[in-house]
Homo-oligomer: A and B are copies of this chain.
């Protein structure tokens, strides 16, 4: 070998099935029963509406800061429907639609953004992890969960998520490397919304796609139109099948746009032009999916209105329920903060719990005293 190009097998693809007008590429159109497709739309719509309501509640000061998910419904739904109930869901934080699909109640989601650990408890019997705040760490956990499946001889697949910014973390590299070396059944889905808070893609990485990083791990890399739920589904389904067959991980990059501020405390005007968002508006995932379903005669205004009403009622009930819950223990009780650190509470924690209980009771009585004297 004197001097020649290094040739390496490339397993890189791009997939797009639905265009902006809801026109489908028949050759790629997945065969999904109509009521199933209708269901997908319902979940995406619910994801959108829940996100919008959270924003209102945040503006009213009824919940804390949260990262909006509107625009990420296609990636979240197209991947989550590709796995089965016993499979693993290892989210980042913009997969609201996926959480809902996996059975996380709106109540639980509201508790989370109300600042309560109770909102991080996965649904009974589901192999789900809660939101991962420290970016990229969940990917390493996902790799480990997949490795454990291999050790135990279980055929469960792990679906995990990360952002374009998270792809810069060392943990992302380590997770992909471990998963590929150990052929762990993990699907790594990158929600590439082109921003990490204010940092645009080209300042985050010097390569054109996240998907091409699959080459570093000898695994398939697929870049899909992240606003096209069918394309996402096709890519995810194939990846899940490979994983289940023991062929190891896949890296899927869904290209979308962060239509909203990063979180409710972010102001995108500081770092990007309004026009940009407008250009992407038409590409938005719900519109084209609805057009597609209307063309197929699966949706019409009446059906959608009905969906909207059901969803609205569901959301209103959830808000009422949470309002009630917040007044009750354990939600209203600070002392429970001590109760789940270890399986058994060590003496020093019991002491500290008593210390706080003592303080709270004493303070209460003080306040009452003051109140009485004031009354006189």
Interface residues of A (CB under 8 A from B): 1-8, 10, 12-17, 25, 27-28, 168-174, 177, 180-181, 203-209, 211-213, 215-219, 221-223, 225, 248
The CA of A270 and the CA of B217, in the complex, are separated in Å by 28
Q: In the complex, are the beta carbons of B170 and A6 less than 8 A apart?
A: no
User: Is A208 touching B8 in the complex (CB atoms < 8 A)?
Assistant: yes
A12 CB contact (under 8 Å) in B6, B169, B180, B208 = B6
Contact B204 A181 (CB under 8 A): yes
Q: Which of A168, A171, A212, A221 has the most chain B CB within a 10 Å cutoff?
A: A212
CA distance A332 to B129 in the complex (A): 56
Closest to A15 in B: B3
Mostly helix, strand, loop or mixed at chain A's interface? Answer: mixed
Q: Which of B2, B171, B212, B218 contacts A28 (CB 8 A)?
A: B2
Choose among A6, A15, A16, A205 the residue with the greatest number of B CB atoms under 10 Å from its CB: A6
A255: min CB distance to chain B, Å: 11
Shortest A306–chain B CB gap in Å is 34
**Interface residue from B203, B211, B216 paired with A6 (Cβ < 8 Å):** B211
The interface residues of chain B lying within 8 Å CB-to-CB of A177 are 168, 205-206
Selected from B6, B170, B206, the residue in CB contact (under 8 A) with A218 is: B206
Contact A14 B25 (CB under 8 A): no
CA distance A175 to B155 in the complex (A): 36
A212 to B221, CA, bound (A): 14
A216 partner residues in chain B, CB cutoff 8 A: 207, 212-213, 215-216
Contact partners of A215 in chain B: CB under 8 A: 207, 212-213, 215-216
Given contacts A3-B28, A8-B207, A206-B217, 12 further A-B contacts (CB under 8 A): A1-B225, A5-B13, A6-B209, A6-B223, A8-B12, A168-B173, A177-B205, A181-B205, A205-B217, A207-B215, A207-B218, A216-B216
